[in-house]
Amino acid sequence: MIQKVHTFDQVLDTTGLFCPEPVMLLHSTFKDIKVGDVVKVLATDPSTTRDIPKFCLFLGHELIEQAETGSGYEYLIRKGG
């Protein structure tokens, strides 16, 4: 679970979805938010531990934090410019 106290603007729940759906939904979500907004992503697919950091790196978004939870994974991502 995300340990630090962070605020976020939106939650994207991709639990139960498998590659490539979580990243496709994240990409779609980022089209609809403004630069600087923070999205908390909930996921259960282990491939998100590879795919979401690459998504951020390639598209210029900030991966603030990622954590493994008892039931899956959580990510905090700030939309870049």
Single-letter amino acid, residue 67:
A
| pLDDT value of residue 67 | 95
Q: Which of 10, 11, 16, 19 is catalytic?
A: 19
Residues 6+ positions from 57 with CB-CB distance below 8 Å: none
Residues 6+ positions from 61 with CB-CB distance below 8 Å: 30, 55, 77, 78, 79, 80
| pLDDT value of residue 3 | 57
Query: Residue 4 — very low, low, confident or very high, per pLDDT cuts 50/70/90?
Result: low
Q: What percent of the chain has pLDDT over 70?
A: 94
Which tens digits make up the pLDDT trace of 19-72?
A: 999 999 999 999 999 999 999 999 999 999 999 999 999 999 999 999 999 999
Tell me how far the alpha carbon of residue 81 is from its chain's centroid.
16
Class for domain 10-19+32-78, per CATH? alpha beta
Q: Hey, where are the domains in the chain? A: 10-19+32-78
Clarify whether 19 is annotated catalytic: yes
Alpha carbon dihedral 13, 16, 20, 26, in 10-degree steps, equals: 0
Would you say 25 and 14 are in contact if contact means Cβ atoms under 8 Å apart? yes
pTM: 0.92
